[in-house]
Amino acid sequence: MAQSSNRFLKFGAAVAIIVLSLGYLAWTGVNESKSFYVKIPEMRAMGDAAYTRNLRVEGFVKPGSIQRNGSHADFIIEDGDQFLPVSYKGSQPPPDTFKDHAQALAIGRMGKDGTFHATEVQAKCASKYEDMEKAQNQANKKGI
């Protein structure tokens, strides 16, 4: 009897270690993959925490700041009077909608060098710029 209860004890301990290990891996995986959506002022207010977290920073691409090199791009996003240099190094080039004045979302980590190091960039053309182009075209047709 002592031998069978000893076997059950060893089996129970092994199962407990496996379950605890899997739980720990799941917990750390969730924390590592978590990313915080912030704007530039909010990111700056985070202090040192900004350097240790995955972030999704939103802003508008500053006109004339995009420097492409293959699938890499360096650019500046702005939010009001605040600017953030971004260095994108991803496996694919930035999307076609990624251009001056576009609303951009950079996903990555803030570097101690003051540059946001993005592994993913999402962009969409802001509708207000499309509306400006339509208004300009209508004014040109009227001869204004």
Verify that 40 and 60 share a domain, yes or no: yes
Verify that 18 and 57 share a domain, yes or no: no
User: Which residue range(s) make up the domain with 51?
Assistant: 35-127
Verify that 47 and 18 share a domain, yes or no: no
Verify that 48 and 59 share a domain, yes or no: yes
Residue 125 contacts residue 104 (beta carbons within 8 Å): no
| Interval 83-120: pLDDT, tens | 999 999 988 888 878 888 889 999 999 999 999 999 99
| Interval 32-61: pLDDT, tens | 666 678 899 988 888 888 888 889 999 999
Number of domains observed in the structure of the chain: 2
Is residue 142 a part of any domain in this protein?
A: no
Verify that 47 and 7 share a domain, yes or no: no
pLDDT at 34: 60
Residue 52's φ and ψ, nearest 5 degrees, are: -110, 0
Q: Taking the model in full, what pTM does it have?
A: 0.64
Mean pLDDT of 8-31: 81
- Give dist(CA 51, CA 8) in Å, integer: 47
Residue 26 tokens, joined: 């799941």
Verify that 45 and 63 share a domain, yes or no: yes
Mean pLDDT of 122-136: 59
Q: Which residue has the higher pLDDT, 31 or 18?
A: 18
Is residue 106 within a helix (H) or strand (E), and if so which, with residue range?
strand 103-110
Is residue 133 a part of any domain in this protein?
A: no
Verify that 39 and 24 share a domain, yes or no: no
